[in-house]
């Protein structure tokens, strides 16, 4: 496993002249940020040794190296979801490669269903903590580096959360804060499941992010995450939800999310 990670990192290093210290996963709500990257160098996932290849329509897969404003960054366009059939080692493989490449800070985004009754569709939620509800743990098995039993008391950097709130206030963008619960999908929740997740302490529910954040934190990478509330899992407000509606709500909130993330990356 470690050899594979090193082989992949060596391949990328051989292609990219200057390695950034900042990475970003262009999840839902950040897709348009790819267009803002200059001096671009793109490497399709299928050309990268040992990399999984994404399968979901609308999630094209490539690594993008370049600059966002003057900041050198590495972006993942397309992530690997557990519901697609990948095992957790595959879902988190790119994060392990990031560690090997010397990435120090990771920015992530996603779409989620709000379980907090104060939330509205289109809200942005700064992820302050998470609940890992996936059936498989990404660190199960041989410990490749770092602690066997990693601390998780601050998986999401408090400094970065503070910065994000400052930036949001400066820009006059309303932000919520809360706990993101990651679950396997691909079904959206039943009303009873949304209720259960609320009782468990979730403010929002989604199908990604948690595995990547666990692996990044274990690797000593600082993490910041934000979620777009695309539907509500709140009693009395639950409506039929589809992937299309999630995309529409996410696209509408995209400019706000992009503005905050861009400034965060700039100051990282
Ligand atoms: N549940 C799970 N994942 C999601 C949701 C949801 O309601 N909305 C967007 N991603």
Q: What is the pLDDT of residues 139-148, one digit of tens each?
A: 999 999 999 9
Query: What would the mean pLDDT of 191-199 be, rounded to a whole number?
Result: 97
Query: What would the mean pLDDT of 251-265 be, rounded to a whole number?
Result: 93
What is the model's pLDDT at position 184?
97
Q: Which of 144, 114, 129, 204 is nearest to 1 (CA)?
A: 144
User: How far is it, in rounded angstroms, from Cα 175 to Cα 67?
Assistant: 26
CA 143 / ligand 1 centre spacing (Å): 31
Q: Where are the beta strands (DSSP E) in 115-193?
A: 124-132, 175-182
Confidence band for 188, pLDDT divided at 50, 70 and 90: very high
Asked whether residue 37 carries a pLDDT value surpassing 60, the answer given is yes
The finding on whether 233 has its CB within 6 A of some atom of ligand 1 is yes
What is the model's pLDDT at position 11?
97
Interstrand relation of 124-132 and 222-232 (parallel, antiparallel or unpaired): antiparallel
Confidence band for 168, pLDDT divided at 50, 70 and 90: very high
CA 154 / ligand 1 centre spacing (Å): 24
CA 164 / ligand 1 centre spacing (Å): 23
What is the model's pLDDT at position 56?
57
Mean per-residue pLDDT over the chain, rounded? 94
Asked whether residue 249 carries a pLDDT value surpassing 60, the answer given is yes
What is the model's pLDDT at position 240?
85
pLDDT tens, position by position, 80-100: 999 999 999 999 999 999 999
Confidence band for 60, pLDDT divided at 50, 70 and 90: low
User: How far is it, in rounded angstroms, from Cα 122 to Cα 76?
Assistant: 24
Output the pTM of the full model: 0.95
Peptide bond into 186 cis (omega under 30): yes
Give percent of the chain above pLDDT 90.
82
What is the model's pLDDT at position 251?
87
Asked whether residue 165 carries a pLDDT value surpassing 90, the answer given is yes
* Protein residue closest via CA to atom 10 of ligand 1: 112
Asked whether residue 59 carries a pLDDT value surpassing 60, the answer given is no
The finding on whether 253 has its CB within 6 A of some atom of ligand 1 is no
Confidence band for 233, pLDDT divided at 50, 70 and 90: very high
CA 109 / ligand 1 centre spacing (Å): 13
* Protein residue closest via CA to atom 3 of ligand 1: 206
Asked whether residue 58 carries a pLDDT value surpassing 70, the answer given is no
């Amino acid at each position: 496993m470690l050899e594979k990670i090193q082989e992949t990192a060596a391949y990328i290093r051989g292609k990219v002249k200057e390695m950034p210290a900042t990475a970003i996963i262009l999840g839902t709500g950040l897709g348009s940020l790819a267009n803002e990257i200059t001096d671009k160098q793109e490497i399709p996932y299928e050309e990268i040794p040992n990399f999984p290849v994404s399968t979901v329509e609308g999630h094209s897969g490539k690594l993008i190296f370049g600059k966002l404003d003057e900041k050198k960054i590495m972006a993942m366009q397309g992530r690997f979801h557990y519901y697609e059939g990948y095992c957790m080692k595959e879902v988190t493989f790119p994060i392990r490669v990031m560690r090997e490449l010397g990435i120090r800070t990771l920015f992530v985004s996603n779409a989620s269903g709000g379980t907090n009754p104060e939330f509205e569709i289109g809200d942005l939620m700064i992820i302050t903590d998470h609940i890992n509800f996936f059936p498989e743990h990404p660190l199960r098995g041989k410990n490749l580096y770092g602690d066997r039993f990693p601390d998780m008391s601050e998986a999401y950097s408090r400094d970065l959360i503070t910065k994000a709130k400052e930036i949001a206030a400066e820009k006059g963008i309303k932000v919520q804060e809360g706990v993101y619960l990651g679950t396997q999908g691909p079904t959206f929740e039943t009303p009873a499941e949304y209720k259960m997740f609320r009782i468990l302490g979730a403010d929002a529910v989604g199908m990604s992010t948690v595995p990547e954040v666990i692996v990044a934190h274990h690797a000593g990478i600082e993490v910041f995450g934000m979620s777009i509330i695309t539907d509500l899992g709140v009693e009395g407000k639950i409506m039929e939800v589809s992937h299309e509606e999630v995309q529409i709500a996410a696209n509408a909130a995209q400019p706000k999310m992009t503005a905050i993330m861009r400034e965060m990356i700039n100051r990282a």
